[in-house]
Structure 1
Amino acid sequence: MTSSLLDVRRGSQTPRVSTHPTAGYTSGPDAAELAEAAGLVLDPWQRYVLDHSLGERPDGKWAAREVAVWVPRQNGKGALIEARVLAGLFLLGEKRILWSAHEYKTAQEGFLRIRELIQSSPAFDALVKRYWEGSGEQGVELTTGQRLKFIARSRGSGRGFSGDTIILDEAQELTLLQMKALFSTMSAKSIHGNPQIWYLGTPPEDPAAWVYGIRKDGEAGKDRLAYFDWGLGEIDPTVPIRERLKQYRDPELWYQANPGLGIRISEEFCEDELSRLHEGFAPERLGMWLPYAGDEGTGWQVIGQAAWEAALDDKSQIDGPPAFGVYVPPDRSYAAIGAAAAARGGRHIEVTGNQHGLDYRPGVGWVVSRLLELEKHKPSAVVIDDKALAEEAEKAGLKVHRANVADVVTGCQLLFDGVAGPDPATRDVRHIGQAELTDAVRGAVKRDVGGSWAWQRRDLASDVTPLAAVSLALFGHSTKRVHRQQAAAPWAVYA
């Protein structure tokens, strides 16, 4: 009797953790069929990921803006990436695709494999205008003008390349600085385009790696994130290594964590791997994560939660003329107006607002009219960190201070010192517990600015706009050279 794959036991074709947004339509089956036309026949688990990652909303946008896939090595992750890239080029019509790997050799292997797949299909190959290779980059350009580009992140590439899809292979090696560069490539597409970013890899060796935030969001079922993890969860350090090694010998665990077991990985290979890797077998073959060793949760990385809560005073009130700060992030998706002023026993910060809500809203078109309304409080200073918005405010008759980089840095440090600084005498800044501002503090990290720093968001789920606004306001309040020369007016509440 002849045997077939149907006679061979295979690893689990569905992940231990699978969270993804619902969608009425998916391009997954079409993507798998297109890959097969190039000779790439996908496993059920690879089809599963495509089906739940390429779902569309009624408006045609991706239901999942981000996709994360964690699977042990040699299970077929590369083929999944290849199928997604082929779909982007020949099915979805994506104009720019970026395939990024931690090392140059991995990016080069991806390029060679994609070229081989395209050339194996005359229909696909006929659409290629050119392949290019050199200067540490490779790529494919179609006659339609679409481009697929391969880069190695270790070379610092990625900044300035605007992609419809960004593939981050070896995602466990991602750093915050690399993600800052790569997220900037997505902002141009975030409103009028339909971008998607993929993270693929194995659990990191660094127990404080950036991707722990992705893991937390995925396990919590975060909106617009499709998350798939075949690994067996987190290593329990309270169990002695000897006992853990006994557990790792169980083939049932191997089949749970490796969808390619029985297809492209054998039990004998796993046995040999365990004998050589010992405790390294857990992350490498069982996809297990080290206990997280970063800051509590994945936030509060600059101002600690305890310090922020110690600065909370829901009865704090502004006593004297306020200074206003206006911050607009680079993608101009939101803007915020912050206020800072003297208060009894110290200084007060908050995001301004009225009965209609806080002045932290989408877009920038509302800002100048709102600043004109706030003029009745005769502010000591209005600080704006956006050239176009400052010009618009000045044309409307407002006297503003255009913040430069040094001003931004000063505002960030004034707020940090006022809440969590090393000197208790300077910790006199109080806030009233606004949820939007607290979320910004929780999600903020440091962005290097010369020899100093300014606020930066930790990930796409975080927005530091309210925090940056009150920091600018605190700079304005604390810096007499930017004050307006006018009499102070009584301050009560925003209206």
Structure 2
Amino acid sequence: MTSLLAERSAAAPDGPPKGAQRPRLSTVPPFVSSSGQEAVELAAVAGLQLDPWQQYALHVGLGENADGSWSAFETCVNVPRQNGKGGIIEARELAGLFLLGERLILHSAHEFKTSIEAFRRIEQLIMNCDQLRKRVARVRRTTGEESIELLTGQRLRFLARSSGSGRGFTGNLNVLDEAMILSDDAMGALMPTMAAVKDPQVWYLGSAGIGAPSMQLGRLRQRALSAVESGVPDPSLAYLEWSINPHVTECRLGCSEHDDPTSPEAVARANPALGFRLSLEHTERERLTMGEAIFARERLGVGEYPSETEDTWQVIGEDAWRALADAESGASDPVAFSIDMTPERSHTSICVAGMNGAAVHVEVVDNRPGVDWVVERARDLHERWSPRCWVVDGGGPAGSLIPDLERALGVEVVSPRVRQVAQACGSFYDAVASGDVVHLDQAPLATALAGARKRDLGEAWAWARRGVGVDISPLVGVTLARWGLTAEVEEPEEEVEPWVAFG
């Protein structure tokens, strides 16, 4: 395996790369103003100098609507360990105490020792700053009662999380450290208390998911993925994640669509503190000691996030789909073909639809890893079947194939608009419900349907490509192919021999 240090000079001739100051994955609700700059300046008064990425997190997390309320009810910062998320916590809590007038701030962590360490750090910041110390009424250091109270009544309390630790408190601000270990019981204790608070906020700070204990973090991340997929920001969540885009099992050798976990660029993308308080020398030692899987999680942000539900066949029931299977089914002219691929470009599907009596036959013609094979295969199918059209969602990952397809096939590819994609999905759903679809019970299509989820498109919906855990391209493909049977297709004008006009 290539060494990070060996690659450093080639990757960054002017020195080691700096960490990315903007997250790879993010959604931020719109806002008209922010208290972030004031929070940054107050932190500096207390001796806390923040990196640009930390300042950015405060800027978007403290975004305000026109009426002065928080634009984000929830803010989540998901970043590998030792990058400085503690600095964000401290700056946010200082702002809550000394700038924003938040009456009660609750800081909790999974482990008691983590909570105590956070208490000691912010106590030191406050008590070592004359401007802030003179506003403190008392500091409680009794075990389990750690808190800081101001002369004006604002309080900052530190707790170890449990199913009952938040009950009885109505925090204006709730800071949940170690958010990758956050149970439903803890959330159940916290959330109802906030109903009585005007304009509260919850801040989650943690690193990559570790499986079942990361259920709440997984929920937040899924909301962010859905927002990115739809292009519409989550209305109440600011989610910032520093991580790499890892290879998947289906990736071919030399795949360039995903991040090389051994490269300095991958470390820089996932670690904004690289070049500030982290070095490539240190991260290389970690990689050699931890092994690839642990290094990917702890340093590159590649987490394991549990699904909200293990239920399958949520959109179209398995019994309804299996009932339409017909091993003898086939399509007659006219037929329509479609192409779709996964967002990661790891798999591509070619699908077909055609009439079978009164029903429409749908079929996955090909489902293979990669992209390189698609155009040649499409040319072969076009010559054999002369379909009425080829359908590709121009806004989807397969849209990049359209120019090459049109050159190879000599026809214009039909690209549905967003509303037409929604119509195609709704029509496919209705056809299954009414029994007007037949199929061969192919495994790739059944697997896609079993894991299928919807994504909202205003008052309509489409198949969700991200966050479903399966290759959804066979389902998107047959949906679009069926739509292509009735889509408007511009017929080529008949060529007239030049001399005919003068006959």
TM over 0.5, shorter chain = yes
Report matched runs for 1:264-279 at 5 Å. 264-278=277-291, 279=293
In the aligned structure 1, how far is the partner of 2:132 from the partner of 2:167? 29
Question: Shift of residue 310 of structure 1?
Answer: 8.4
In the aligned structure 2, how far is the partner of 1:133 from the partner of 1:185? 25
In the aligned structure 2, how far is the partner of 1:94 from the partner of 1:310? 54
Question: Shift of residue 195 of structure 1?
Answer: 0.3
| Contact 1:72–1:257 (CA under 8 A) maintained in structure 2 | yes
Report whether the alignment pairs 1:248 with 2:256. Answer: no
C-alpha spacing 1:73/1:122, structure 2 compared with 1 (3 Å)? same
C-alpha spacing 1:160/1:236, structure 2 compared with 1 (3 Å)? farther
| Deviation digits for residues 421-452 of structure 1 (CA, Å, limit 9, x no counterpart) | xxxxxxxxxxxxxx9xxxxxxxxxxxxxxxxx
Report matched runs for 1:229-378 at 5 Å. 229-233=241-245, 236-238=248-250, 247-278=260-291, 279-290=293-304, 292-294=305-307, 298-299=308-309, 305=314
In the aligned structure 2, how far is the partner of 1:249 from the partner of 1:35? 35
Code of the aligned partner of 1:267: L
Give the equivalent residue in structure 1 for 2:202: 197
TM-score by length of 1: 0.56
Give the equivalent residue in structure 2 for 1:228: 240
Give the equivalent residue in structure 2 for 1:10: 18
Instruction: Give unpaired runs (5+ residues) of structure 2.
Output: 1-13, 228-232, 321-455, 457-503
Code of the aligned partner of 1:73: R
| Contact 1:258–1:286 (CA under 8 A) maintained in structure 2 | yes
In the aligned structure 2, how far is the partner of 1:25 from the partner of 1:8? 35
Report whether the alignment pairs 1:174 with 2:182. Answer: yes
Give the equivalent residue in structure 2 for 1:90: 98
In the aligned structure 2, how far is the partner of 1:133 from the partner of 1:237? 51
C-alpha spacing 1:126/1:310, structure 2 compared with 1 (3 Å)? farther
| Deviation digits for residues 289-341 of structure 1 (CA, Å, limit 9, x no counterpart) | 23x453xxx3586x983799989xxxxxxxxxxxxxxxxxxxxxxxxxxxxxx
Report whether the alignment pairs 1:79 with 2:111. Answer: no
In the aligned structure 1, how far is the partner of 2:313 from the partner of 2:213? 17
In the aligned structure 2, how far is the partner of 1:162 from the partner of 1:304? 40
| Deviation digits for residues 177-214 of structure 1 (CA, Å, limit 9, x no counterpart) | 1111111221111xxx1100011101121157312110
Report matched runs for 1:380-419 at 5 Å. none
In the aligned structure 2, how far is the partner of 1:117 from the partner of 1:205? 32
Larger Rg: 2
Report matched runs for 1:408-447 at 5 Å. none
Code of the aligned partner of 1:285: R
Code of the aligned partner of 1:284: E
Give the equivalent residue in structure 2 for 1:110: 118
C-alpha spacing 1:268/1:57, structure 2 compared with 1 (3 Å)? same
Give the equivalent residue in structure 2 for 1:146: 154
Secondary structure of the equivalent of 2:260?
Answer: helix
Question: Shift of residue 158 of structure 1?
Answer: 1.1
C-alpha spacing 1:142/1:305, structure 2 compared with 1 (3 Å)? same
Question: Shift of residue 146 of structure 1?
Answer: 0.6
Code of the aligned partner of 1:215: R
Report matched runs for 1:50-89 at 5 Å. 50-89=58-97
Code of the aligned partner of 2:214: A
Code of the aligned partner of 2:144: G
Secondary structure of the equivalent of 1:177?
Answer: helix
In the aligned structure 2, how far is the partner of 1:240 from the partner of 1:129? 63
Secondary structure of the equivalent of 1:171?
Answer: coil
Give the equivalent residue in structure 2 for 1:216: 222
Code of the aligned partner of 2:135: L
Report whether the alignment pairs 1:31 with 2:62. Answer: no
| Deviation digits for residues 96-149 of structure 1 (CA, Å, limit 9, x no counterpart) | 000110100110011000110001211110111111122423110111111000
| Contact 1:160–1:184 (CA under 8 A) maintained in structure 2 | no
In the aligned structure 1, how far is the partner of 2:318 from the partner of 2:200? 37
| Contact 2:183–2:213 (CA under 8 A) maintained in structure 1 | no
| Contact 2:245–2:259 (CA under 8 A) maintained in structure 1 | no
| Deviation digits for residues 402-424 of structure 1 (CA, Å, limit 9, x no counterpart) | xxxxxxxxxxxxxxxxxxxxxxx
| Contact 1:235–1:289 (CA under 8 A) maintained in structure 2 | no
In the aligned structure 2, how far is the partner of 1:102 from the partner of 1:208? 11
Code of the aligned partner of 1:305: Q
Code of the aligned partner of 1:280: I
Secondary structure of the equivalent of 1:247?
Answer: coil
C-alpha spacing 1:122/1:75, structure 2 compared with 1 (3 Å)? same
Code of the aligned partner of 2:178: E
Code of the aligned partner of 1:124: L
Aligned length, in residue pairs:
299
Work out the percentage of aligned pairs sharing the same amino acid: 45
| Contact 1:103–1:154 (CA under 8 A) maintained in structure 2 | no
Secondary structure of the equivalent of 2:214?
Answer: coil
Give the equivalent residue in structure 2 for 1:418: none
C-alpha spacing 1:27/1:305, structure 2 compared with 1 (3 Å)? same
Secondary structure of the equivalent of 2:141?
Answer: strand
Secondary structure of the equivalent of 1:158?
Answer: coil
Report whether the alignment pairs 1:121 with 2:133. Answer: no
Code of the aligned partner of 2:221: R
Code of the aligned partner of 1:49: A
Question: Shift of residue 17 of structure 1?
Answer: 1.5
| Contact 2:175–2:202 (CA under 8 A) maintained in structure 1 | yes
In the aligned structure 1, how far is the partner of 2:79 from the partner of 2:259? 22
In the aligned structure 2, how far is the partner of 1:88 from the partner of 1:62? 13
| Deviation digits for residues 51-88 of structure 1 (CA, Å, limit 9, x no counterpart) | 11111111111001100101111111001100000000
Give the equivalent residue in structure 2 for 1:446: none
In the aligned structure 1, how far is the partner of 2:249 from the partner of 2:55? 35
Match of 2:55 among 43, 47, 52: 47
In the aligned structure 2, how far is the partner of 1:216 from the partner of 1:109? 31
| Contact 1:233–1:289 (CA under 8 A) maintained in structure 2 | no
Secondary structure of the equivalent of 1:178?
Answer: helix
In the aligned structure 2, how far is the partner of 1:179 from the partner of 1:234? 30
TM-score by length of 2: 0.55
In the aligned structure 1, how far is the partner of 2:223 from the partner of 2:176? 17
Using the TM superposition, name which of 100-109 and 215-224 deviates more. Answer: 215-224
Code of the aligned partner of 1:14: R
Secondary structure of the equivalent of 1:49?
Answer: helix
In the aligned structure 1, how far is the partner of 2:306 from the partner of 2:106? 31
Question: Shift of residue 248 of structure 1?
Answer: 2.0
Secondary structure of the equivalent of 2:211?
Answer: coil
